[in-house]
Amino acid sequence: MPRTPAILFVCLGNICRSPLAEGAMRAVAEREGIECLIDSAGTGPWHIGDAPDPRAQRVARRHGVEIGDLRGRQVSADDFERFSHIVALDKQNLAALQKVRPTGSRAELKLLLDYVPGMAGKAVADPYYGDENDFEKTWSVVSLGAEALVALLKSA
């Protein structure tokens, strides 16, 4: 387990939801002066090495956050050693992570919205087949998660 908090956001492709969550978390952590490692990954292999979806980049930029230099990667068992919190964007990815998780790992594995009061158990919907408005909704909801996670880290 790392000594400083280390947060990994995980979706399916690592080009839409988890890079937005990573960008939102970086912005909130910086604003609040919280020191933590932040990264994102996908459970699927299709977008390894790819930049975030252009729609995700535009939405983040509209909110003052640059995510264009992020690159897709696939989650691995090693991530359960490197990160203290592994945060799934939906239940399909939570189930995939439970399979990758090494026995005895102490990393906390939860849905992002489990950290948001009143939203436990809810998923962040995949905007990939939607339009830019769906990416705006994704930004709103991952920002709620980022605020809640930073509040938790501040209180620890």
Residues that bind ligand 4NP (CB under 6 A): 11-17, 46, 126, 128
CA atoms of 101 and 106, how far apart (whole Å): 10
CA atoms of 137 and 124, how far apart (whole Å): 9
Please identify, using beta-carbon distances, which residue of 25 and 153 lies nearer to ligand 4NP.
Answer: 25
Chain-centre distance for alpha carbon 138: 11
Active site annotation includes 11: yes
Residues facing 29 on adjacent strands: none
Counting Cα atoms < 13 Å in the Cβ hemisphere of 2 gives 19
Active site annotation includes 126: yes
Please identify, using beta-carbon distances, which residue of 14 and 57 lies nearer to ligand 4NP.
Answer: 14
Active site annotation includes 106: no
Smallest distance from the beta carbon of 104 to ligand 4NP, in angstroms? 28
Residue whose structure tokens are 């950290």:
115
Smallest distance from the beta carbon of 3 to ligand 4NP, in angstroms? 30
Please tell me which residue in 3, 16, 17, 69 is annotated as part of the active site. Answer: 17
- Answer whether 146's CB lies under 8 Å from 60's CB: no
Please identify, using beta-carbon distances, which residue of 10 and 150 lies nearer to ligand 4NP.
Answer: 10
Smallest distance from the beta carbon of 103 to ligand 4NP, in angstroms? 27
Give catalytic residues, as residue numbers. 11, 17, 126
